[in-house]
Structure 1
Amino acid sequence: MAPTVASEAAARQQHTGKAAALAARDASGHLAPLTITRRSTGDDDVAIKILYCGICHSDLHSIKNEWNNAMYPVVPGHEIAGVVTEVGKNVTKFKPGDRVGVGCMVNSCQSCASCDEGFENHCPGMIFTYNSVDHDGTISYGGYSSNVVVHERFVVRFPDGMPLDQGAPLLCAGITVYSPMKRHGLNVPGKHVGVVGLGGLGHVAVKFAKAFGMKVTVISSSPAKRQEALERLSADEFIVSKNEDEMTAAAATMDGIINTVSANIPMAPYMGLLKPYGKMIMVGLPDKTLEIPPFNLIMGSKTLAGSCIGGMRDTQEMLDVAAKHGVTADIEMVGADYVNTAMERLAKADVRYRFVIDIGNTLKSSE
Structure 2
Amino acid sequence: MLASTGFGATSANEPLSKLDFQRRDLRPDDVQIDILFCGVCHSDLHTARNEWGNTIYPVVPGHEIIGRITRVGNQVTRFKEGDLAGVGCMVDSCQHCSACSEGLEQYCENGFVGTYNGEEGHSGGMTYGGYSNNIIVRDKFVLRIPDKLDPAGAAPLLCAGITTYSPLRQWKVGPGQKVGIVGLGGLGHMGIKLAHAMGAHVVLFTTSPGKREDAKRLGADDVVISRDAQEMRAHRNSFDFILNTVAAPHPLDPFIELLKRDGTMTLVGAPATPHPSPQVFNLIFGRKRLAGSLIGGIAETQEMLDFCGERDIVSDIEMIRIQDINDAYERMLKSDVKYRFVIDMASLRAA
TM-score, normalization by structure 2:
0.97
Question: Following superposition of structure 1 onto structure 2, how do residues 234-253 of structure 1 map, counting pairs within 5 Å?
Answer: 234-253=219-238
Question: Following superposition of structure 1 onto structure 2, how do residues 294-333 of structure 1 map, counting pairs within 5 Å?
Answer: 294-333=280-319
SS of equivalent residue, structure 1 residue 201: helix
**By how many angstroms is 1:110 displaced?**
1.0
Q: Structure 1 unaligned segments of length 5 or more: list them.
A: 1-15
Query: Paired residue for 1:81, among 57, 66, 73?
Result: 66
Question: Following superposition of structure 1 onto structure 2, how do residues 1-367 of structure 1 map, counting pairs within 5 Å?
Answer: 16-123=1-108, 124-136=110-122, 137-186=124-173, 188-230=174-216, 232-286=217-271, 287-359=273-345, 361-364=346-349
Q: Would you say the 8 A contact 1:21–1:365 is kept in 2? A: no
- Tell me, in whole angstroms, the C-alpha distance in 2 between the residues paired with 1:198 and 1:95: 38
**By how many angstroms is 1:266 displaced?**
1.6
Q: Which amino acid aligns with 2:138?
A: H
Taking only aligned residues, the RMSD between alpha carbons, in angstroms, comes to: 1.2
- Tell me, in whole angstroms, the C-alpha distance in 2 between the residues paired with 1:234 and 1:43: 44
Q: Percent identity?
A: 49
Q: Would you say the 8 A contact 2:252–2:275 is kept in 1? A: no
Q: Which amino acid aligns with 2:141?
A: F
Number of residues of Structure 1 aligned to a counterpart in Structure 2: 348
Describe the superposition over 1:242-291 as per-residue Cα deviations: whole angstroms up to 9, x where unpaired: 11110011111111000000222222211111111111011012312441
Q: Which amino acid aligns with 1:63?
A: A
Q: Structure 2 unaligned segments of length 5 or more: list them.
A: none
**By how many angstroms is 1:165 displaced?**
0.3
Where does structure 1 differ by over 3 angstroms across 4 or more consecutive aligned residues? none
- Tell me, in whole angstroms, the C-alpha distance in 1 between the residues paired with 2:234 and 2:170: 28
Q: Would you say the 8 A contact 1:29–1:60 is kept in 2? A: no
- Tell me, in whole angstroms, the C-alpha distance in 2 between the residues paired with 1:87 and 1:29: 36
**By how many angstroms is 1:109 displaced?**
0.8
- Tell me, in whole angstroms, the C-alpha distance in 1 between the residues paired with 2:79 and 2:91: 16
Q: Which amino acid aligns with 1:93?
A: R
Q: Which amino acid aligns with 1:64?
A: R
- Tell me, in whole angstroms, the C-alpha distance in 1 between the residues paired with 2:295 and 2:87: 13
- Tell me, in whole angstroms, the C-alpha distance in 1 between the residues paired with 2:235 and 2:279: 20
Q: Which amino acid aligns with 2:277?
A: E
**By how many angstroms is 1:190 displaced?**
2.1
Q: Would you say the 8 A contact 2:30–2:137 is kept in 1? A: yes
**By how many angstroms is 1:111 displaced?**
1.2
Q: Would you say the 8 A contact 2:251–2:275 is kept in 1? A: no
**By how many angstroms is 1:365 displaced?**
7.7
Q: Would you say the 8 A contact 2:117–2:126 is kept in 1? A: yes
Q: Residue 59 and residue 312 in structure 1: after superposition, are their counterparts in 2 closer, same or farther (change >3 A)?
A: same
**By how many angstroms is 1:74 displaced?**
0.7
TM-score, normalization by structure 1:
0.93
- Tell me, in whole angstroms, the C-alpha distance in 2 between the residues paired with 1:324 and 1:28: 43
**By how many angstroms is 1:237 displaced?**
0.5
Describe the superposition over 1:45-100 as per-residue Cα deviations: whole angstroms up to 9, x where unpaired: 01101000000001111111111111111100000000111111111111111110
Q: Would you say the 8 A contact 1:18–1:38 is kept in 2? A: yes
Describe the superposition over 1:172-195 as per-residue Cα deviations: whole angstroms up to 9, x where unpaired: 000101011101112x11211000
Q: Would you say the 8 A contact 1:78–1:143 is kept in 2? A: yes
Q: Would you say the 8 A contact 2:12–2:49 is kept in 1? A: yes
SS of equivalent residue, structure 2 residue 349: coil
**By how many angstroms is 1:234 displaced?**
2.6
- Tell me, in whole angstroms, the C-alpha distance in 1 between the residues paired with 2:138 and 2:52: 27
Q: Which amino acid aligns with 1:180?
A: P
Q: Which amino acid aligns with 1:150?
A: V
Describe the superposition over 1:312-353 as per-residue Cα deviations: whole angstroms up to 9, x where unpaired: 000000000011112110000001111111112112221111
